[in-house]
Structure formats: C-alpha cells, structure tokens
Amino acid sequence: AARPGQAAPLEPPPAPVSRRLILGTDGGAYGSRDAGATWILEATFPAGQYYRIAVDDRSPYRICGGLQDNASWLGPSQVFSKDGITNADWVNLGGGDGFSCAFDPDDRDVVYAESQSGEVQRTNLRTGEIRGLRPEPAEGQARFRFSWNSPLVPSRHEKGVLWLAGNRVFRLEQRGERFQVVSPDLTSADPGKTSSAGSGAESHSVVYALAESPRKAGLLWAGTDDGRLWRTDSGGKAWTDLTGSLPAAVKGQWLSRVEASNHDDRVAYLAVDAYRSQDLRPHLFRTADGGRSWRSVAGDLPADVPVRLVRESPRNPKVLFAGTGAGLYVTLDGGGHWVRFGALPAVVVDDLAYQARQRDLVVATHGRSLYVVDDVGALEEATPEVLAEEAHLFTPRPGPGRLLLPGWVDEAGKGEFRGANPPEGALITFHLREALGEPAKITIASAAGAPVASFEAPGMPGLGRLSWNLRPTKEFLNDYGGDGPDRPVPPGEYVVTLSYGKSKETQKLQVSVAEGIQVRYAPTR
C-alpha cells in the first residue's frame, strides 16, 4: 500500500495470453496461431494410422492402404525426382475409414478398396468410375454382419475373384459384380443379440481373419473375433471346425490374423491379440497338420507385447516377420529367437506386405505411417551355415540406373514431409562373424575384370550394407576418360568381391540403365 502523500504503485502488467494452439486428431495434428480462428495441418511428419496395405508388381511398385478415418490411398514406392515422395504423389480412393486394398492383376488401373463394415468398392483410375460391391442379402433374409475392419483377400488362383468375410465368407466374382455366400455363419453369435445401431464399429461375432493358401486353390482359413477357427479345402463347399484344437491360452479370444504358408499347404500361423482381455502376452502359433494341433513360435518375443500379425517369407519358411504392439520383429529360425528392427519406432504394426520382385517388406504402422525395409533377401539367405562363415556376401538384386529430375526441395523451410526414395543403384549386403580389427573391403569390377569401384566398411560383427550408385569411385575415374561425372557405368554383368580376414567372397551383379541415358565409356584394364 502507498503511504500518505505517495503515489499508488503501478499495477503489474497482465500475463501474456498465448494465441498458439495444437490440436491432435485421428486425421493428424493441426496448429493455430490466432487462438483457433484458422488452423493449419502440420504435414511435416508422417502420422498415418494404417490398418491394411497391398503392393503391386509395377516398377516402381505402388502401395495401396487404408487409414483410420482418412480413406484409402494409392502411392508410389519411388519417384524419379530428388524431391522424394510427396503428398501430391498419392491418390485418394475415397471412403471413410480405409481398410483392405487389392490390385487387379489384369488391369493396372483397377484397384479395390474397402471402407468400414464391408463397403468394398472398385475404382478405375483411368475413367474415375467407382462401383460399390458390398454383398447384400435378398429381401426377407437376415442381414449380414461385417466387422469395422472386414478382411478382403484377392485370389491368387482365380482371375477376377476376391474373398470377403463378415459373419459369413463371400466369394466375389467377375471383379465383384456377382457374389456367392460360401459359408454358414461361422461365429458363436446369438443372432438376436448381435444387431446394434451405430457406426459399425460396434459389430461383433464376425470373421476377422481370412487367408487363402498360396499353394492350393480352394484352401481358406477363417478366424472369428469370438474365438472360432475354420478351414475349407473346397472353396467353401464344406468347412471344418478347428476351434477345439486351439491352444488353451487363446480359447475364446479374438483371432487377429491367420497366415497360410507359402511352402506347405498343411502349415499355417495364427496370431491372437488378447489385449482386450488384459492379456498382453505374445500369442503366436504354428500348425503343421492343417490345424489339428498347434505349437507356440513366440520364442523370446517380449512377454508384454501382443502380436498383431505374422508374415512368412516366400523364399525361406524359417524366416518370419511379426508385427506387434511395439514394433517389428524377425526370426531366422522359425520362431525360436526373435530380433527387433531397431530402426523402426516402437509403434503398433498392423500389416506387412512383401514385394516379391524387389524383396522389399512394406510396414504399415498405426501412428507412424509407412516404412519400407529395402531388400530383405539377406535375411532370407542367412542360414546357420552362412552365419558360421567368417564373412559372407549375399546375392545382390539387380541394380537399376537412371538420372533423377532436380526437383525443388525446400531444405531450409521444411514445409512438408517428403518420403525418402530408395537408395540409387545397387545394395550390397554382407555378414561378418566377428571383429578382426580391420575393415571389410568391397570391390566391384566389370565382367572383363576392370575395377570400377572400391569401398571399405567397418569390421563390425553382424549384417552390413552399402549402396553403390553405379558410378565409379574417384580412384577409377581416369579409366573412363574423366567425362560426365554423373554418368552411370555401362549396363551388363559386374562382379562384387568381399574381402575380410582370410575370406574372399564374390557375387554377380546385373546392372541396367534406363534407355536413352548416356553412359560412361566402357572401362579398360
């Protein structure tokens, strides 16, 4: 208080009020700098929540996937610009929440995408035509029940056929123009207690896991969210109830994914995500007798991380990839020992897609969007015998060469997220058994023996990898006349050599160059 005759003290200034707000939604993060009058989507980081994905066989291949509350999208695995992969490279296929996608094998411009509750649609990218394909019962018949996330599986054996599941399994024919019901109600539901009004997310007692055998036509597996498992060997004409053979630990639980083996039609894998029952253990099983018995292949997976799905390598039945509630894991011995992919975040992995030509593994996460593990071929070749060698050089996939457009990358502003292109040229992958106190040396020569590139890699135990951009390294530039520093080497066969300790390993590498690109002069010895 002021004394008599003194001026009253000044009031302190009011505290500043921030006008900046951040809003988190299932469509991304939004920012406001004017107290909410306007909002900007913060599109500078990948925050996609993917449920399911699919890949095609184009070059570069495309990825199609469904997102939580953000429809289904189609985009490239690579672009020929230094800008990288931007949002503008992706095409919206429509729908509310997006789920399963499938590519038509006979028409690259026809794509199937699914929204909630079995709302399947066929989109023609050439014409823009969209056709709704969801099966509907005839008048007077009971309504079909569909999961919020209904499984949609394109047939590998019959053209124009897809399999869809609700409380029954449906065979969609003629690109979905016709459908057949090929199963009874496979759930344990009381029909009078399963109907509900709402968004569709409340539906229960439905087939949630559906798989077609890659080896045997007509062999399907179906698992329900109320704990029932079925198999048919006749495309749905007769079904065998395998529920009684399920392991005791998962009886009555939500069967989240079935994986039919690429190598043996009697083999399948079952992932059970039981977190809804407060059971966070990794439930992952394998059958070798068509589902009559099961054994755990969870091995040493973390004891408190549920498994969402499993994928078996098409090239090695011992190699399995598991998507979990906290990242991606791989086993090289059929499930005895698992290793986490440390470069990926500890986030829910909801789906995995294997691109056979590139040997890429595409990873769909719920919250951190899409990742591509380039060329998992080394993992598929990493047998115990290979890992016991002092050094091993794995088979490199062909190395394509072309020039990238300059793009317009704003490195300073970082105004939008840009997905990375795969490394240019060829990937060279190797394994070292132990540290010898010296680097590993990798050389590349033409088929005639002329050296074109030389590298050193740390002599660290484990898998190592380097990428060669198909250009000579500096010590060999004179062999090419010194012209055109950005020109790739001529196409053809090259020899890669790994030297480490007393070991020397070689592999052949096939190099291709896009038509019309001027290459360097052929090297001379």
The sheet with strand 162-165 has its strands ordered as 152-154, 162-165, 169-173, 178-181
Q: What three-state secondary structure class fits 394?
A: coil
Dihedral angle, C-alpha 64, 67, 71, 72, nearest 10 °: 10
Is residue 496 within 8 Å of 509, Cβ to Cβ? yes
- pLDDT given at position 477: 78
- pLDDT given at position 416: 80
Q: Which residues are bridge partners to 232 per DSSP?
A: 220
- pLDDT given at position 280: 96
**Separation CA 386–CA 433 (nearest Å):** 9
- pLDDT given at position 52: 97
Write down the pTM of the prediction: 0.92
- pLDDT given at position 17: 83
Instruction: Count how many Cα atoms sit within 13 Å of the Cα of residue 203 in the half-sphere of its side chain.
Output: 21
- pLDDT given at position 95: 80
Question: Strands 399-401 and 503-513: what pairing?
Answer: parallel
- pLDDT given at position 12: 80
- pLDDT given at position 443: 98
Rg over alpha carbons for the chain, rounded to the nearest Å, is 27
pLDDT tens digits, 145-164: 999 999 999 999 999 999 99
CB atoms within 10 A of CB 91: 16
Which residue bears the tokens 């411009």? 109
- pLDDT given at position 13: 79
Low-confidence ranges of the chain (pLDDT < 50): 479-481
**Polymer length in residues for the chain:** 525
Convert 293-316 to b/e letters by CB count within 10 Å (16 or more is b). Answer: ebeebbbebbeebbbbbbbbbebb
- pLDDT given at position 208: 96
